[in-house]
């Protein structure tokens, strides 16, 4: 039996634009998904999932079954969640050259599903690591990131970037631009505050919406490129340790994402509540449509304001997590 965990993430800058080759800077946070894997004597797969903002569920199938758990969330999110786990298993079987390996898998996550905090990437990364180790194979963090990206790319119908999976695998703050993925070595203390509206966006649908807008309107394509410019300016601010400028650029980034139609009233209200409490900056994080915002605040102001904001279900601080995927005690 092997247990591995991997962190979720927030986007400091660059979500959506990263799909089109623009740079992005995601940051791993100390909220993790843990996957425990035990090899079976047959080729079946039995998955038990907890805490994915779902009621816990167990599903057993042989890879051809159409069985899905009966839980109170959108069917597309459930199908995606099962697809990520299946994909992680297939990558582990491939890496170990064990195409018929069966597993008992338990997924435990402190990362809300579909909320923009990289829950799927964390589950896939941790799942690949745990399952390959259970089969006697150890992969590097970069190998895991590459295999996890293939899973997300397939589940999201070719609309994923490498950002989430690379960040989850290596930890810390990273820069992703197309195929070029690297860690950012020197990062100031980033006082993240997360606000969560209790909802979830459909990543594939939101990414497809931006794609359609970008293809129809030149100004939408220009907006995507401008987000890339913000990321480049943000990298300079990170290098200088200029939190005030980082926050200002986060504000700009949120405005452009709103213009692309991926924000939501609940997200906007949380963003403005954080800004009005004197946070250095605030923006949605991830695909949007519902889920989470991230604010930069060295005081208790944003956290307090979000607690009293209608539509904000929960708020919490999230430290930067320097660790990527790692083995845990079973």
- Among 134, 168, 185, the domain-final residue is 185
Is there a single domain that holds both residue 212 and residue 280?
A: yes
Mean pLDDT over each residue of the chain, to the nearest integer: 89
Separation between Cα atoms, residue 113 and residue 16, nearest integer Å: 18
Residue of 41, 42, 55, 164 marked catalytic:
164
Please count the CA atoms within 13 angstroms of the CA of 82 that sit on its side-chain side: 23
Give the Cβ contact number of residue 63 at 10 Å. 11
Separation between Cα atoms, residue 208 and residue 200, nearest integer Å: 16
Is there a single domain that holds both residue 266 and residue 289?
A: yes
Residue 328 lies in a domain: no
Residue 154 lies in a domain: yes
Is there a single domain that holds both residue 211 and residue 295?
A: yes
Residue 105 lies in a domain: yes
| Sheet with 281-284: strands ordered across | 281-284, 292-296, 192-196, 314-318
Is there a single domain that holds both residue 38 and residue 180?
A: yes
Is there a single domain that holds both residue 105 and residue 222?
A: no
Backbone phi, psi, residue 46, to 5°: -125, 120
CATH number at residue 206: 3.30.70.890
pLDDT at 89: 94
Is there a single domain that holds both residue 181 and residue 239?
A: no
> Is 222 considered catalytic here?
no
Distances (CA, A) of 174 to 19, 23, 235, 257: 16, 10, 10, 21
| Sheet with 326-328: strands ordered across | 57-61, 45-50, 103-109, 25-39, 2-13, 326-328
Q: 39-53, 86-100, 166-180, 268-282: which range is least confident on average?
A: 39-53
How do residues 197-243 score in pLDDT, each as one tens digit?
A: 988 877 788 888 999 999 999 999 999 999 999 999 999 999 999 99
Is there a single domain that holds both residue 110 and residue 201?
A: no
Within 8 A by CB and 6+ apart from 215, the residues are: none
Is there a single domain that holds both residue 282 and residue 180?
A: no
Mean pLDDT of 129-140: 97
Residue 71 has pLDDT above 60, yes or no: no
Is there a single domain that holds both residue 139 and residue 206?
A: no
> Collapsing DSSP states into helix, strand and coil, what is residue 328?
strand
Separation between Cα atoms, residue 197 and residue 219, nearest integer Å: 30
Residue 325 lies in a domain: no
Is there a single domain that holds both residue 126 and residue 271?
A: no
How do residues 123-133 score in pLDDT, each as one tens digit?
A: 999 999 999 99
CATH number at residue 90: 3.30.230.10
Task: Report residue 32 CA to chain centroid gap.
Answer: 11
Q: What is the DSSP letter of 193?
A: E
Q: Token pair 């690949």 is at which residue? A: 128
pLDDT at 201: 78
Q: What is the DSSP letter of 262?
A: -
> Collapsing DSSP states into helix, strand and coil, what is residue 175?
strand
Domain count, the chain: 2
- Among 121, 155, 185, the domain-final residue is 185
Backbone phi, psi, residue 61, to 5°: -160, 170
Residue 324 lies in a domain: no
Token pair belonging to 58: 């167990």
Percentage with pLDDT > 90 across the chain: 71
User: What residues make up the domain containing 233?
Assistant: 192-318
Is there a single domain that holds both residue 235 and residue 107?
A: no
Residue 258 lies in a domain: yes
Residue 44 lies in a domain: yes
Residue 261 lies in a domain: yes
- pLDDT band (50, 70, 90) for residue 113: confident
Is there a single domain that holds both residue 211 and residue 300?
A: yes
11 DSSP β-pair partners = 26
- Among 185, 216, 247, the domain-final residue is 185
pLDDT at 81: 67
Q: Give 137-144's long-range contacts (Cβ < 8 A, gap of 24+).
A: 137/92, 137/95, 137/96, 139/95, 141/169, 141/170, 141/324, 141/325, 142/166, 142/169, 142/170, 142/181, 143/95, 144/169, 144/325
The larger pLDDT score, comparing residue 73 to residue 188, is at 188
Q: What angle do CA 318, 202, 154 make, to 5 degrees?
A: 100
Separation between Cα atoms, residue 204 and residue 21, nearest integer Å: 17
């Amino acid at each position: 039996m092997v247990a591995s965990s991997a962190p979720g993430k927030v986007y400091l800058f660059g979500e959506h634009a990263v799909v089109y080759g623009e740079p992005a800077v995601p940051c791993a946070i100390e909220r993790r998904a843990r996957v425990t894997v035990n090899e079976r004597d047959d080729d079946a797969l039995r998955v038990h999932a907890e805490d994915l903002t779902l009621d816990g569920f167990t599903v057993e199938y042989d890879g051809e079954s159409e069985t899905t758990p009966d839980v109170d969330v959108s069917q597309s999110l459930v199908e995606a969640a099962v697809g990520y786990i299946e994909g992680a298993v297939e990558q582990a079987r491939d890496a170990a050259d064990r195409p018929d390996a069966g597993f008992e898998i338990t997924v435990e996550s402190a990362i809300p599903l579909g909320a923009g905090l990289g829950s799927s990437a964390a589950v896939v990364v941790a799942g690949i690591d745990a399952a390959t180790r259970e089969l006697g194979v150890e992969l590097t963090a970069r190998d895991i990131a590459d295999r996890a990206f293939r899973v997300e790319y397939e589940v999201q119908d070719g609309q994923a970037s490498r950002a989430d999976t690379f960040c989850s695998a290596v930890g810390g703050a990273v820069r992703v631009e197309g195929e070029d993925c690297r860690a950012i070595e020197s990062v100031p203390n980033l006082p993240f505050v997360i606000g969560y509206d209790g909802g979830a966006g459909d990543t594939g649908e939101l990414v497809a919406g931006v794609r359609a807008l970008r293809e129809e309107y030149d100004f939408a394509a220009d907006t995507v490129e401008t987000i890339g410019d913000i990321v480049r300016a943000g990298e300079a601010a990170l290098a200088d340790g200029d939190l005030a400028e980082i926050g200002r650029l986060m504000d700009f980034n949120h405005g452009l994402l709103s213009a692309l139609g991926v924000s939501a009233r609940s997200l906007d209200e949380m963003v403005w509540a954080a800004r009005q409490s004197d946070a250095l900056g605030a923006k949605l994080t991830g695909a949007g449509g519902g889920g989470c915002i991230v604010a930069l605040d060295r005081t208790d102001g944003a956290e307090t304001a979000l607690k009293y904001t209608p539509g904000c279900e929960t708020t919490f601080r999230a430290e930067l997590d320097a660790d990527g995927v790692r083995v845990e005690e079973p």
